[in-house]
Amino acid sequence: MRKILFAALTAFMTLNAGAQTIYDGTLFSNTDLNGTARFVGMGGAMGALGGDISTIGTNPAGIAIYRSHDAMFTLDMNSLSTENSYLGQSFGDNTNKFFFNNAGFVFSNKIGNETTLRYVNFAFNYKRAKSFDRTMRSAGDLGGHSQTFLMRNNADGLVQDAWSDNPFYNQDIGWLSALGYEGWLIDWSTDNRYSSSTLSNLYSSVAEGTYPYMNEFYSRERGGINQYDFNLSFNLGDRIYLGATLGAYDLNYHKYTLYDEGFNDEHGSPYGDGYSLESDNHVSGTGIDVKLGVIVRPFEYSPLRIGLAVHTPTFYKLTWKTSAYLISDLYTDSHGNPTDNTFKHTVDTYDYTDGKEMAMEYQLNTPWIFNASLGYTIGSWLALGAEYEYKDYSSMRFYYPGGAGMGYENSTARYGGLRGVNTYRAGIEFKPVSQFAFRAGYTYSDAAFESYAVKDLPVNSIYTDSDFSNTQALSNYSFGIGYKGKSFYADLTYLYSTQKSDFYPFAYYEDDTWYTPEAAKVTDNRSRVMLTLGYRF
């Protein structure tokens, strides 16, 4: 194999390589329903009610409701079941985790009873904003489609001389195509592999009469987003509450995928074992945002509260590291026909990068968030909350480290099937006696993807995992109980979340049309038990 210096490759790729897709940007832009057990037990619908540390991240003015100091932490037992149905076959995987979900404190400072400014409050809160932990597998007939078609088409139009040197170095060749070429999965129709030609005439080594079959797909995702919020809020005459939160984020995401594809003839006899491709991706970095909120009691003697909040985009600076490994024993003769061969072609990207991962830095700006909420209480025994939130995922943007926009990625974000998402939250808290409370909540979010959305890889992308899922609507159901003594309090909540998605191992563009295998129907069901212990003084 032909090697080059890793430093030169890194410098080149940092300037020119395709970066993240809309699927990664969307994944990093949304958060889970997390926080204290009380907040989650009411479906997160506390933006106008306030008085809970978790409102620091939805409507910062909710911290201004506090009239005493508060300190608390939350523990979370998390279980995710991923069920996959593909062409009559069923697959299932489970992921179980224990998290330290939330910890925070509020300092409430009384200014006076007669002044307009009644309280100035300070608060800090940590929460695990997002968990990426997920495992999924699938297998089945690909309906005549093959990932090698994507490898071929992403290299379409290249001059043949471009392949005469290390293809992983060429700015016009994506890594997925380079892997296919080096592994003899795509090749020239001419006998001389390295002869000069004006335009490429690449073909997939999967000849007519063969039937590609996905022997195995396996993915393992790990990591999460940690959120640190710092808040300053003001109580004006017990009628107007103002708040601002500065948020800091720590993102860590790791995804490993194994894709194994085999080929049979019309009688089911194998031409060869096909190939397997392992991809390893790691994204890490930090971000920052600002949240502003207000709560108003429009009528002096009414408990009705109206809340409004806006969140700026989270401005992430991220580093993406990737590597891939391909093994193929699919071999073609000089006429492009598959033949049995025990020789295995092995392609390891580490051999082209001096034994190191490829690293690329980029910036991601997540969408703006707009939030409106209502809160109403009846005495001290009933509290009702309702909330609406809007986030337009098509507005997220990608940038190179110097600030220049990534034109192709931003174009796919704007026109590639992302939507504005509406989120609705509702919650109720009932206290039959002052010390005990019962809670219930519901949250619903629209789908972020149109049904036609695909993972559109730039032709020079160093992406080597081609799978994607078009997630549909998300529903959260929560139930909880709480105890509150003179100072100590404890809350326990059960949260059930369910979301369906359409999974595709790849998509490729040919003759002005996008093609994919049939979608696998995936359902993610998550069960969580949260316990919050706190002390007010």
With cut-offs at 50, 70 and 90, classify the pLDDT of residue 10: very low
Tens-place pLDDT, residues 271-289: 556 899 999 999 999 999 9
**First-residue to last-residue Cα distance in the chain:** 68
**% of the chain surpassing 70 pLDDT:** 87
Average pLDDT (77-83) is: 92
Most confident of 86-100, 191-205, 500-514, 519-533: 519-533
Q: Which two tokens stand for residue 375?
A: 């809160």
Q: Residue 68: pLDDT above 90?
A: yes
What is the mean predicted confidence (pLDDT) over 312-341?
76
Is pLDDT larger for residue 293 or for residue 5?
293
Whether 268 has a pLDDT exceeding 70, the answer reads no
Quote the domain boundaries for residue 366: 6-536
User: pTM of this prediction?
Assistant: 0.89
Q: Is 150 a residue whose pLDDT tops 70?
A: yes
Residues 6+ apart with CB under 8 A from 11: none
Report if residue 330 sits inside a domain: yes
Closest CA to 520 of 211, 216, 99, 131: 216
Q: Tell me the percentage of the chain whose pLDDT exceeds 90.
A: 64
* 501 vs 520: CA distance, rounded Å: 8
> What's the CA gap between 71 and 60, in Å, rounded?
17
- What is the reported pLDDT for 339? 52
Q: What is the CATH number of the domain that holds 410?
A: 2.40.160.60
Using the predicted structure, report yes or no on whether residue 307 has a pLDDT greater than 60: yes
| Section 167-193 average pLDDT | 76
Residue 1 lies inside a defined structural domain of this protein: no
Question: Is residue 270 very low, low, confident or very high in pLDDT (cuts 50, 70, 90)?
Answer: low
When divided into structural domains, the chain yields a total of 1
Mean pLDDT across the stretch 220-235? 97
pLDDT over threshold 60, residue 266: no
Yes or no: say if 327 and 345 are a contact pair by the CB < 8 Å rule: yes
pLDDT given for residue 204 in this prediction: 64
pLDDT over threshold 80, residue 156: no
Residues in the chain: 537
pLDDT for residue 240: 96
Where is pLDDT greater, at 394 or 200?
A: 394
CA distances from 187 to 147, 154, 190 (A): 14, 13, 9
DSSP string, 340-364: -----EEEEGGGGTTTS-EEEEEEE
40: left (phi over 0), alpha (psi -120 to 50) or beta: alpha
Residue 114 vs residue 18, higher pLDDT: 114
pLDDT at 359: 83
The answer to whether 276 and 260 have CB atoms below 8 angstroms apart is: yes
With tokens 């890194």, the residue in question is 10
- Report pLDDT for 273: 67
Rounded-to-integer distance, Cα 39 and Cα 50, Å: 10
Instruction: Tell whether 38 is covered by a domain.
Output: yes
Rounded to whole angstroms, the Cα distance separating 291 from 304 reads 23
Tens of pLDDT, residue by residue over 432-491, are 998 999 999 999 999 999 999 999 988 888 889 999 999 999 999 999 999 999 999 999
